[in-house]
Amino acid sequence: MTRVFSGIKPTGHLTLGNYLGAMRQWAAVDQHQADALFCIVDLHGMTVDHDPARLRRLTRQGATLLLAAGLDPELCTVFVQSHVDEHARLSYVLECVATDGEMRRMIQYKEKSARERARGGSVRLSLLTYPVLMAADILAYGADEVPVGDDQAQHVELTRDLAVRFNQRYGHTFVVPRATLPQVAARVMNLQDPTSKMGKSEDSGPGIVYLLDEPDVVRRKVLRAVTDSGREVAYDREARPGVTNLLEILAACTGGNPEALGDAYESYGALKKDTADAVIEALRPVQARHKELCADPGYVEEVLQRGAQKARAMARPTVDSAYRAIGLLPPVAEPALNAAR
């Protein structure tokens, strides 16, 4: 059976981009067709300046939202990254396979480090190395597929390169995974700046729809979305990024084809109204389920505990193999130590 792994960072409140680009596909397709693991990657949440209490809160909220979006712990494994030591264990080994040049070429590193420096802040070393931790997240589980939005495709490419390099140098250890992207809404753009991704770690703003936004807030944000000069509704990523973004969102929420939908509208106003309605309807069941789950925090904790146990058992053998293959001496087992005393 195909093994699938993907994760989400608790760096901010989850957005419509996270939902349409990743979570929805995990719930609707991946958990039914594959042996799937989904993870709140909290260690990745510390690569930029963070507040510990907020990180804890967002980790819990992220896990609750994964379940609210339809992940079923009877069908897939849901857990928190830092609950499974194997991720960090493997990450260091992979750092010994990666090069600093590879890390510095990562677009997210370039963008986020530039943003951090522009604010006068310092750049954490973990921002440079976190793609290696992401590779460890994926390779520890022998994942065949990694369903992600378009912005993470480069990191999955790096993961492939590291797996191939490790296997060639130290013997076959890792499955070489591939990224799978959704057909529509692989990159939902900011409604106020449709040339930038709708990202959750940016300052909250009218261009970002959060999964827990009230319907009237969603409507206001969509109705105020920046559109393009001209009047014709047409799907054209280069010339009409604002309208194209709305068409992608509408298509993702209604199951239509964004190009064909473009032909069906004569005004920006009608497109915005239908998009707002479609987003509100898409988020309604997620928000309702989130409310129920918040009333039962013990259930979420139990799911995470069971998930971590399962994940640990799956990752351990592969990480142990990688340690052996790269030349680390296996630890002496406890009974043998006792006998020698």
Pick from 317, 269, 300: which is nearest to 66 by CA?
Answer: 300
Nearer to ligand AQP, 173 or 244 (CB): 244
Q: Which residue is nearest to ligand AQP (CB)?
A: 21
| Shortest Å, Cβ 272 to ligand AQP | 19
CB 199 within 8 A of CB 2: no
What is the C-alpha end-to-end distance of the chain, expressed in Å? 46
Residue 199 near ligand AQP by CB under 6 A = yes
- Which of 17, 142, 207, 262 is close enough to bind ligand AQP by CB under 6 A? 17
Residue 13 near ligand AQP by CB under 6 A = no
Is 273 considered catalytic here?
Answer: no
Nearer to ligand AQP, 21 or 322 (CB): 21
Residues 117-156 vs ligand AQP: string with x where CB under 6 A? -------------------------------xx-xx----
Residue found by looking up tokens 């898409």 in the block: 282
Nearer to ligand AQP, 41 or 97 (CB): 41
Pick from 160, 119, 167, 134: which is nearest to 42 by CA?
Answer: 134
Residue 167 near ligand AQP by CB under 6 A = no
Size of the site for ligand AQP (CB under 6 A): 21
| Shortest Å, Cβ 193 to ligand AQP | 12
Is 200 considered catalytic here?
Answer: yes
Q: Which two tokens stand for residue 121?
A: 């802040």
Task: Please tell me what DSSP assigns to residue 232.
Answer: -
| Shortest Å, Cβ 41 to ligand AQP | 7
Helices (H), ranges, the chain: 16-18, 24-25, 31-33, 52-68, 86-95, 100-104, 107-118, 125-139, 153-170, 215-223, 241-254, 258-264, 268-294, 297-326, 334-340
Residue 279 near ligand AQP by CB under 6 A = no
Per-residue b/e over 240-265, b at no fewer than 16 CB within 10 Å? bbbbbbbbbbbbbbeeeebeebbeeb
- Three-class SS state of 310: helix
Is 221 considered catalytic here?
Answer: no
Residues marked as catalytic: 112, 197, 200
Q: Which residues contribute to the site for ligand AQP (CB under 6 A)?
A: 8-9, 11, 17-18, 21-22, 148-149, 151-152, 185-188, 197-202
